[in-house]
Amino acid sequence: MCSAGGPIDVEFTEQIQGKSCVCKDCENKFKSIGKKIRCPSCGSDHVVVLE
Ligand SMILES: [Zn+2]
């Protein structure tokens, strides 16, 4: 195992940010990734994904 210390993939950070989502129950805006999105504020799955 030799660690070359290569450059970190900066491009990944944009993808990790996820999609903009809005909770329909509490109107909380957040970013999330994945298929089952839940509002981090109230835990509702009434979430709309903004493009
Ligand atoms: Zn909510």
pLDDT of residue 20: 94
Model pTM?
0.64
Q: Please list all protein residues whose beta carbon sits less than 5 angstroms from ligand 1, which is an ion.
A: 23, 25-26, 28, 39, 41-42, 44
What's the 1 CA to ligand 1 centre distance in angstroms? 46
Q: What is the pLDDT along the chain (51 residues), one digit of tens a residue?
A: 667 777 766 565 555 678 999 999 999 999 998 888 999 999 999 999 997
What pLDDT, on the 0 to 100 scale, is given for residue 34?
87
Q: What is the whole-number distance in angstroms between the Cα of residue 48 and the centre of ligand 1?
A: 11
- Write a three-state SS string for the chain: CCCCCCCCCCCHHHHHCCEEEEECCCCCEEEECCCCCCCCCCCCCCEEEEC
Domain presence at residue 3:
no
**Any domain includes 46:** yes
Question: What pLDDT score does 17 carry?
Answer: 72
Q: What's the pLDDT at 8?
A: 65
Q: How many structural domains comprise the chain?
A: 1
Supply φ then ψ for residue 46, to 5 degrees. Answer: -80, 70
The residue segments making up the domain with residue 33 are 19-50
Q: Is 8 part of any domain?
A: no
